[in-house]
């Protein structure tokens, strides 16, 4: 058993996908999708722990707490060992062989240790919790059925930041996003993508305010350059398209025609 990495909190250019960490199965996270049932033996006892994956060859489970009707029960510490190395440690409460209520998990991964501190229900991350990756990146907020859900904050050590509403592991609703290059977006998200009204601030001081679709400027909007020139018009698939009203810092105004992001008049 091992922690399946939470590193699928992947931040791409103008897109963010919060993919769930795995469930606590026998005190260890495993995928919530296609959750098979494995009842695993606990070393030195007649008790069992639930998992959605089998033990790897040579791994054993140890438990310091109680046992009721053949299943782990009550408060205790569960550890998974592979030889003389501890692969995982869970501290919390078990009910009918599954984690329930507040608990903590530490799991050895290739690059160090990943940690979760928060709520569990029926063996899965549930309620408020904090998940820290081996590199120090961290998500803190709501979980539901093993996925980030509700309101949460992700801060990556690479400079990526997301703060806002999340549903089923993806930004959904209002959110604020920062890229490592300094770009910032505040506005609506739909299924992990910038969709609806929003504001995009560029590192050089340029600002786009308006409609977004599929992570791109799409629809009516206003682009203000760092020197104060304002372009108001329509964007299509991220490109200026049609007639724009241009207001310059000196107070003058003109109309410009753009096609495929190129001025044509």
Residue 198: closest CA among 222, 233, 169, 231: 222
Strand 28-30 versus strand 23-25 pairing type = antiparallel
Task: pLDDT band for 33, please (50, 70, 90 cuts).
Answer: very low
Dist CA 37 CA 34 (whole Å): 10
Q: What is the mean pLDDT of the chain?
A: 88
Predicted confidence (pLDDT) per residue in 144-199, tens digit: 988 999 999 999 999 999 999 999 999 999 999 999 999 999 999 999 999 999 99
Average pLDDT over every residue of 219-235? 98
Average pLDDT over every residue of 198-214? 97
**For residue 263, what are its two tokens?**
């001025």
Average pLDDT over every residue of 246-265? 96
Q: pLDDT at residue 34 above 90?
A: no
Average pLDDT over every residue of 243-250? 97
Q: pLDDT at residue 31 above 60?
A: no
Q: pLDDT at residue 12 above 50?
A: no
Give residue 173's pLDDT. Answer: 98
Do residues 93 and 74 lie in contact, with contact meaning Cβ atoms separated by under 8 Å? Answer: yes
Give residue 35's pLDDT. Answer: 62
* Region of 182 on the Ramachandran plot (φ > 0 left; ψ -120 to 50 alpha; else beta): left
Predicted confidence (pLDDT) per residue in 108-151, tens digit: 999 999 999 999 999 999 999 999 999 999 999 999 988 999 99
Question: Which helix H or strand E contains 65, and what residues bound it?
Answer: none
Give residue 51's pLDDT. Answer: 84
Predicted confidence (pLDDT) per residue in 51-64, tens digit: 878 889 999 999 99
Bridge partners of 150, per DSSP, are 166
């Amino acid at each position: 058993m091992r922690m399946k990495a939470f590193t699928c909190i992947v931040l791409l250019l103008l897109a963010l996908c919060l993919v769930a960490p795995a469930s606590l199965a026998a005190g260890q996270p495993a995928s919530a999708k296609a959750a098979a049932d494995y009842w695993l033996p606990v070393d030195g006892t007649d008790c069992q722990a639930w998992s959605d994956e089998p033990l790897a060859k040579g791994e054993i489970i140890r438990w310091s707490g109680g046992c009721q009707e053949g299943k782990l029960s009550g408060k205790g510490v569960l550890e998974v060992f592979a030889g003389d190395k501890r692969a995982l440690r869970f501290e919390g409460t078990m009910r009918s062989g599954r984690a329930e209520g507040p608990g903590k998990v530490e799991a050895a991964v290739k690059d160090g240790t990943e940690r979760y501190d928060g709520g569990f229900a029926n063996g899965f991350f549930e309620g408020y919790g904090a998940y820290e990756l081996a590199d120090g990146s961290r998500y803190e907020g709501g979980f539901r059925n093993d996925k980030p859900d509700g309101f949460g904050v992700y801060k990556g050590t690479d400079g990526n930041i997301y703060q806002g509403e999340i549903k089923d592991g993806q930004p959904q609703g209002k959110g604020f996003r920062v890229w490592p290059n300094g770009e910032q977006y505040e506005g609506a998200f739909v299924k992990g993508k910038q969709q609806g009204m929003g504001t995009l601030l560029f590192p050089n001081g340029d600002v786009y305010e308006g409609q977004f679709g599929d992570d791109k400027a799409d629809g009516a909007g206003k682009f203000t350059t760092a020197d104060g020139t304002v372009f108001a018009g329509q964007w299509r698939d991220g490109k200026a398209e049609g007639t724009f009203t241009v207001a310059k810092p000196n107070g003058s105004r003109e109309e410009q025609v753009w096609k495929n992001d190129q001025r044509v008049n």
